Amino acid sequence: MKPTLRAVAETVGVSRSTVSNAYGRPDQLSAELRQRILDTARQMGYPGPNPTARSLRRGFVGAIGVLFTSRLSYAFTDPFAVQFLTGVAEAAEHHGSSLLLVPLPGDLVGARKAVENAAVDGFCVYCAGDEGEIVDTIRARGLPFVTTSARPGAQDLWVGIDERAAARSAAEHLTGLGHRRVALLSDDVLPDTSPGLVRVSDVADVPHPTTRERLAGFADAFAAVGVTWPELTILAAADNTRAAGAEAVRALAALPEPPTAVLACSDVLALGALDTLRGAGQSSSVTGFDDIAEAASAGLTTVLQPGVDKGRRSAELLFDPPSDTEAHQILLPTTLVVRTSTGPAPRS
């Protein structure tokens, strides 16, 4: 049986609160008594009060949670996620706090439990599929939170970009180059679909808010030049990785008239698309989204969004929320960076 705080108190002949003070409030004891308690505890094998339980009792854990709908390794391998977490970590260090990475299971019940059980003082909702349900669960706990995707009508703390307008800028670049037969590439297109060509009746059917807004932005630009949603080819990747992007784009070879351009919802997917297309000797134009470090060396045309700043400012809002209502919503700038991966559409 593990030794308890009560056992240490009885052995030393003091109250349980006195033993607790030896760890958490040493100024309340004499140096001699505190040392006697610590020595006794060490001899008995008592490690000290549970830090999580102690912090929850005082209403302060000293950590913020970052929620994302992916496996835990995604936080360390996805280049844009690394940028975002770097910014969050910088703010946390400044405020003397820690981070708890909370990957959300695919099922809603599991996701709710993950949020309910996380010992944190607040949440940065970086990437959550069913964000409304997740936010409601956080609210039920009475904890503050910051999201990175705006929800219509909500007055939540929010730091993000105009996803739709940013995506539209990339698509307008391609329409200006004459492209009309294009493929849109993303993960999180529809639940329970196989990688490759998928049929999506309407962009509103895409459940993930970020994916939906980016696909809608692409569609806006092509609608403006007479290309309707049913005329766009939709490609689903198994996940947001370079390998998954490469695999998804291979499905285009089966089409009687392959697209002249691929618009990807992330740089890693776009880089995978380039791997496949260049490997097959094809010169299709490709655009990405994020402008990760590798995009420049690959000559990838992409939308630059400030990843580190996005993470930093999200955490700062959580630690120090403004009194000004308007300052609760921070819209960050984006820029289309044109490189060699895009060019004029081939003449028929």
State the pLDDT confidence band at 171, using cuts at 50, 70 and 90: very high
260 near 249, Cβ under 8 Å? Answer: no
* 154 pLDDT higher than 90: no
**Which position has the higher pLDDT, 299 or 113?**
299
Q: In the prediction, which pLDDT does 325 show?
A: 54
Pick the CATH number of 163-304 from 3.30.360.10, 1.10.10.10, 3.40.50.2300, 3.40.50.300: 3.40.50.2300
- In this structure, CATH architecture of domain 63-161+308-331: 3-Layer(aba) Sandwich (3.40)
* Percentage of residues of the chain with pLDDT beyond 90: 61
Report how far apart, in Å, the C-alpha atoms of 52 and of each of 59, 142, 202 are.
Answer: 10, 18, 46
Say if residues 286 and 270 touch (Cβ distance below 8 Å).
yes
The model's confidence at residue 201, banded by pLDDT at 50, 70 and 90, is very high
Predicted pLDDT at 305: 97
Q: Residue 163 has what pLDDT?
A: 95
Are 63-161+308-331 and 163-304 equal in CATH topology?
yes
The whole-number pLDDT of residue 130 equals 64
pLDDT digit string (tens) for 11-43?
A: 999 998 898 888 777 788 898 998 999 899 889
pLDDT digits (tens, 9 = 90+) for 241-276: 999 999 999 999 999 999 999 999 999 999 999 999
- Mean pLDDT lowest among 48-57, 198-207, 317-326: 48-57
Q: What is the mean pLDDT of the chain?
A: 89
For residue 233, what are the contacts with CB-CB under 8 A and spacing of at least 6? 181, 182, 183, 184, 197, 252, 255, 259
- The domain ranges of the chain are 63-161+308-331, 163-304
This prediction has a pTM of 0.80
Is the confidence at residue 126, as pLDDT, over 50? yes
User: What is the arithmetic mean of pLDDT over 160-189?
Assistant: 96
> What are 45-80's pLDDT values in tens digits?
887 765 545 444 445 678 999 998 778 888 889 999
